[in-house]
Each structure stands twice: as structure tokens, then as C-alpha cells.
Structure 1
Amino acid sequence: MDPKKLSYFATVVEQGSLAKAAKRLTISQPALSKSMDRLESELGMKLLERSPAGILPTALGELIYSHARAIRDEMDIAAKRLEPDREQVQTINLGTLPSLTSNVIPRAVSKWRQQHPDVLLRVVEKVQVELLLGLLRGEFDFIVGQTEFYDVFLEGLKQRVLFRDRLCVFARADHPLFRLSTLSWADLAQYPWICPMVGWPQRTILEKLVTAEGLDPPRQLVECGSIDFTKSLIASSDHLALLPAHAAISQTTASPIKALPITVAELKRDIAVIFRERAPLREISQDLIHFIREVGNDLASATDTAG
């Protein structure tokens, strides 16, 4: 099978139209149509059929498409990995959870940069599912996320645990809840909360914890994925939020938010580096991962001692 024809075939399936696919591939429609006819002839099977909705793959076409897409993605990844060598500029594309960009990732990058002053580093924040999808598509060299969400995806990824993280319920330093001798989830549920969108790990954990106590989830909710906005709102109101223990650590001034003295096993999580099995990590990436592990463990030890 000709890899170029397979790549063309994948684009036709995704565009649902020969005209749209030809435009995207910057080739003529007759040339693309001829290429698809030859692919079907070479395989001895019908792969595409026309319908009122456009061009659709047959059952066999769906099977070939899954392989064609993987081949095309591998070719794209190879091209991207060669680009830095042609440009004489090494590049790392890192995807990470927003909750790790307030402390862990910046501190690790600061240390790593001293060893690699000329490497271009791109850092992208996304939720776990989007990180994994981006990794599978070759958008990232590696991602740093949670291990709990790894098993829902297909083969082709590998992971290594870097450090143990702990989520805490944060409130402003003078919040009324700090005056209570004992805390329960019923006490916490009475206050407004800031939560990520539905489906994010912290949101799911909160809902499970309050439901286990026979309580309804908090009704006063602000949905937001920004860690900076979450911390600002906590500091200036009665809102509560689940954040990593290291989120309140500041290198310059005392933090205006504090962790409430309540914890359960569900608030612990493993942070791992996840990468494509067929795209081994380069030395510059391994160096950055080393510092992420080092900083993560140092911050985890500091918060455990403070707790």
C-alpha cells in the first residue's frame, strides 16, 4: 500500500468530500479521484461510497482509515522531529495540567533553562483528556498529568510516575471555617465553591466526596479552569476550591489562601510523565522531566511537613 495514497484516503474520509480534500491537500480533484480509484484497485475492495451526506467510508474503508490515519500521523511526527534539525533550533512541546503550572512546571523550567539556554520550549495547559488526545496526535513530545486517567486510552502510550501530589481544600486565610474545632464535608458544602468544568478530576472528586456523606453537591458554583482566577477569588471571598497543596506556596510573599485541616485518601494523586512508545524521549526532554520530578518531590515534602 502506498503511504501517500493512504494519507490522501484519510483526508478524504475526514473531509467527506473530494473537492474539500483536494483543496486541503493542494492537489487537483481529478488527481485525487484517480489516486483513490487506484488505491481501491490495488486493494481489490471498495473503500468509499457516495451518499447525500457526501463521501463515506465503507465498512472495510473504516478499517483501512484507522490504519491510514495512524500512518499519516507517524509521518507528520517524523517530519516535525526533523524540522528542528533543519532549522538548527531544538524544540520541546510540553502539555501539562493547569494545576501544575502555578509552581511545579515554572520552577522546573527555571532550573532546566540553565542547562539548555538555546532550546525552544512550548508549554500548553489542557485538561487530562485533551492532553492525551494531543499526545496521540503528535502535538506534544510528552505530557505531565495524572495516572488515574491513563487506562481509558488505547495502546501506544507509556508512563512513569514522577511524584505524589495531594489536593487540599483551600480558603482565604481568615475564612470562618478556620474557627471551627472540627470540620466536616457538611460544613464545607454550605459555602460557595469554585470548580473546574464537569469531567475535570477535581470536580469529580468533590462530587463523590459530598455524595458519599449523603449531601447534595454545593449549589453556589463558579466554573473555571484558571488556577490564577481560582486563587484570586478564594482570597477575596468565602469561596472554597480543591487545589494541589503546593498551589499556595509563594516564592515572594505570604499566600493569602490556606489549606483547611481536612483530608481523605481520595485527595492524593500520582503525577506522571506520559509519552508515545514509538517516540522515545530525547535527552533534552529527559533533563526537563528530571527537574519536574525533583521540584514535584521537593514541594510535596514541603507541604507534607507544613501540614
Structure 2
Amino acid sequence: MLNARIKLRHLQAFLEVARQRSFARAAERLAITQPGISKTIRELEEALGATLFDRTPRGVALTQAGLTLLRHAGPAIRALEEGIGAVGEGRTGATWLRVGALSTVESRLLPEAIRRWQQTAEGESGVNVVTGPSAFLLSRLRRGELDLVVGRMTEAREILDLAFEHLYYERLVLVVRAGHPLAGIAPLEASRLVAFPWVLPPPQTTLRQQVDSFFVRHSLALPGQLLETLSLALSHRYTRDSDAIWVAPEEATREAVADGWLCELALPLELQGGSVGLCTNSTLKPSLALEAFCEMLRALAAETVAGNP
């Protein structure tokens, strides 16, 4: 039985502090004072008989008790929101999905899945897409703030107790503009790459780990000019207008390479690539809409595999 001393506001405050890793930022997001949110968390800790946060020089960190509560409180709040939303959907006929998208699926898989799903969905349907690093998206999925995360994420430590389903493998490739000094050179020595700017994923991302491994294997140091971003649009334009070497998901460059705007260098960053798939929170019962959307992703993945054996 739920402790009568624990109110919804306690859990909402707890989740926001866990999300922001800061009492001050959480208070700002919830539009209350910092002493107010501190008092709310203290009341929750007293009701539970456990400390939920440790204070650190860089903010706050969840204790083991805090992690345990987070694993259950996030999905519980999400289930409550779904119940309230279901009542609203019953009146309006609208269906919404909240999807986390990694850059590996932004160019083709996810847009096509959304298009096909909305064509077959009954009534009004919408998809809210959130982008960002895998750690950020998976943490939101664990808290019940997303229904699904799609992309290459098997290397992410944050995947832990979430359910991952493999769809296909996707390579990271090295691409440059047409007419680049290294375009068409084969074999290509790795030492020649450091003379040019690089566009690569930011540090602490799973894709960056593959880049760092490449540099270690070839005994190279990172070049002096770097553009660190997960934005495909920015990366594409910067690469086309400069001599930069772009570390890109193969899907994101396929059309530009086929059209002759970009070309892949004759030096593989990785051979097989990483596992692209869909990740769900197994503590939450999937809606019929989510199951239909996942089935659409599976069908498109099968087409991808068939088209790129």
C-alpha cells in the first residue's frame, strides 16, 4: 500500500531533481523556490526512511535508494499520465507517440516509419521526436518520458535493464566532398587524414568511442581543427563547403554519395558497424499504437537488410 504521506508532488519533485542533477535547476523547471523543493525532497526521504541524493561539488547524485525509486517512480508517473491521456484520446480520437531518435536513423528509417504509420493509424496521430545522445534519450526512456528510442545504442552503458531489439547493422563511414584531395585515392594511408579538419560526434557518445578506437588503431592524434556535433544538417553542409572529413552514419550519406555530392574514402572506419535497433522500457505496457509503430520499424529494417546485403 502506498504510504499516505507520499504525494504526487513529492514524486514529481524527485524525478525533476534526478533529471536535472540540481535542486536549483529542478526548482526553476517546476516554478517553485529552491528551499521549497529541498523541503519536498526532505519530506519524501523522511517518509521512505532513506537518503535519495548525495550532494557533490557538481550537483547531486542519486544514491542506491534513489536509483531504485527512479526505476519505479518514472514508469508509475508515466502510467498515470497515460491513463489521463487515454481519457483525452477517447474524447478527441488523437494518438501520440514520444520517440527518441539517434542520428543513425534520422535520415531514412524514422521519417519513413512515421509516414507509413500515420497513413495506417486510425484517427488523428502525432509523433513527438526528441534527439540527442544515447545517454540522454535512454535516461528519459527509463523515467517513462519516452515510449521508444531508436538508433545505434548497444555500446551505451545506460541501456542496462532496458529491452533492446536488434534490427540491422549500420556502419560509420568517412566521407568528404566531391573533388576533395583524398577522394578516389586507394589505398589510402591513415596518416594523411590528420592534415584535414574533422566532423565527428561529441565526446562521451557511443559513436565517438568508435572514432577514438580508429585513431588508436592507426596510432593517430586528433587533428587540430574539429567540429563536434550530432547535427546531420550542419555536418552535411560543413563537409560540402570545406575539406573536412565527416564521420557519418552510412544511412545519412547514402543519397548524397549516390548523387555525387559526397564520396566515401577508401579507408573503413569500421567493418560491420553497430547494431541499430529499438529500445523500450519493459516495465511499461506498450500501447497498441506503439506496437504498430515498432512493427513498422521492423518491416522497414527488413527492407534495409534486403537492399543492402
Question: Which letter does structure 1 place at the counterpart of 2:127?
Answer: L
* 1:91 and 2:101 matched: no
Q: 2:195 aligns to what?
A: 190
Assess, with a 3 A threshold, how the Cα gap between structure 1 residues 284 and 164 changes in structure 2: closer, same or farther.
same
Q: 2-side partners of 1:259 and 1:16: how far apart? A: 47
Assess, with a 3 A threshold, how the Cα gap between structure 1 residues 301 and 172 changes in structure 2: closer, same or farther.
farther
Q: 1:107 aligns to what?
A: 112
Assess, with a 3 A threshold, how the Cα gap between structure 1 residues 12 and 86 changes in structure 2: closer, same or farther.
closer
C-alpha deviation, 1:213, in angstroms: 1.4
Q: 1-side partners of 2:291 and 2:71: how far apart? A: 25
> Does the Cα contact within 8 Å between 1:170 and 1:243 map onto a contact in 2?
yes
CA RMSD of aligned residues (A): 3.7
* 1:228 and 2:233 matched: yes
* 1:130 and 2:136 matched: yes
Q: 1-side partners of 2:63 and 2:182: how far apart? A: 57
SS in 2 for 1:177: coil
Q: 2-side partners of 1:83 and 1:281: how far apart? A: 16
SS in 2 for 1:181: coil
SS in 2 for 1:124: strand
Q: 1:240 aligns to what?
A: 245
> Does the Cα contact within 8 Å between 1:194 and 1:222 map onto a contact in 2?
yes
Assess, with a 3 A threshold, how the Cα gap between structure 1 residues 249 and 300 changes in structure 2: closer, same or farther.
farther
> Does the Cα contact within 8 Å between 1:202 and 1:242 map onto a contact in 2?
no
Question: Which letter does structure 2 place at the counterpart of 1:230?
Answer: S
Q: 2:274 aligns to what?
A: 269
Assess, with a 3 A threshold, how the Cα gap between structure 1 residues 63 and 110 changes in structure 2: closer, same or farther.
closer
> Does the Cα contact within 8 Å between 2:177 and 2:239 map onto a contact in 1?
yes
Q: 1-side partners of 2:50 and 2:216: how far apart? A: 52
Question: Which letter does structure 1 place at the counterpart of 2:134?
Answer: Q
Residue in structure 2 matching 1:291, options 279, 292, 296: 296
C-alpha deviation, 1:184, in angstroms: 2.5
Residue in structure 1 matching 2:146, options 113, 133, 140: 140
Q: Normalised by the size of structure 2, how large is the TM-score?
A: 0.76
C-alpha deviation, 1:277, in angstroms: 1.0
Q: 2:173 aligns to what?
A: 168
Assess, with a 3 A threshold, how the Cα gap between structure 1 residues 202 and 64 changes in structure 2: closer, same or farther.
closer
Q: 1:76 aligns to what?
A: 77
Q: 1:212 aligns to what?
A: 217
In the alignment, structure 2 segments of 5+ residues that lack a partner are none
The CA deviation string for residues 106-149 of structure 1, in whole angstroms up to 9 with x for no partner, is 12212222101522211111111111101011110111132423
Q: 1-side partners of 2:253 and 2:263: how far apart? A: 7
C-alpha deviation, 1:46, in angstroms: 7.9
Q: 1:256 aligns to what?
A: 261
> Does the Cα contact within 8 Å between 1:95 and 1:140 map onto a contact in 2?
yes
Residue in structure 2 matching 1:120, options 95, 106, 126: 126
SS in 1 for 2:107: coil
Q: 1-side partners of 2:128 and 2:204: how far apart? A: 26
> Does the Cα contact within 8 Å between 1:108 and 1:291 map onto a contact in 2?
yes
C-alpha deviation, 1:264, in angstroms: 5.0
Q: 2-side partners of 1:191 and 1:24: how far apart? A: 47
Q: 2-side partners of 1:175 and 1:63: how far apart? A: 52
Which is worse superposed, 257-266 or 2-11? Answer: 2-11
Q: 1-side partners of 2:276 and 2:175: how far apart? A: 20
The CA deviation string for residues 29-81 of structure 1, in whole angstroms up to 9 with x for no partner, is 8xx88x949x95x87x6869xx9xxxx9xxxx956544444443233111221
Assess, with a 3 A threshold, how the Cα gap between structure 1 residues 267 and 183 changes in structure 2: closer, same or farther.
farther
Determine which structure has more spread, i.e. the larger CA radius of gyration. 1
Q: 2-side partners of 1:114 and 1:146: how far apart? A: 26
After the TM superposition, which segments of 4 or more aligned residues of structure 1 sit over 6 Å from their partners? 23-26
Q: Normalised by the size of structure 1, how large is the TM-score?
A: 0.77
Assess, with a 3 A threshold, how the Cα gap between structure 1 residues 218 and 300 changes in structure 2: closer, same or farther.
farther
Question: Which letter does structure 2 place at the counterpart of 1:102?
Answer: S
> Does the Cα contact within 8 Å between 2:134 and 2:153 map onto a contact in 1?
no
Assess, with a 3 A threshold, how the Cα gap between structure 1 residues 101 and 179 changes in structure 2: closer, same or farther.
closer
In the alignment, structure 1 segments of 5+ residues that lack a partner are none
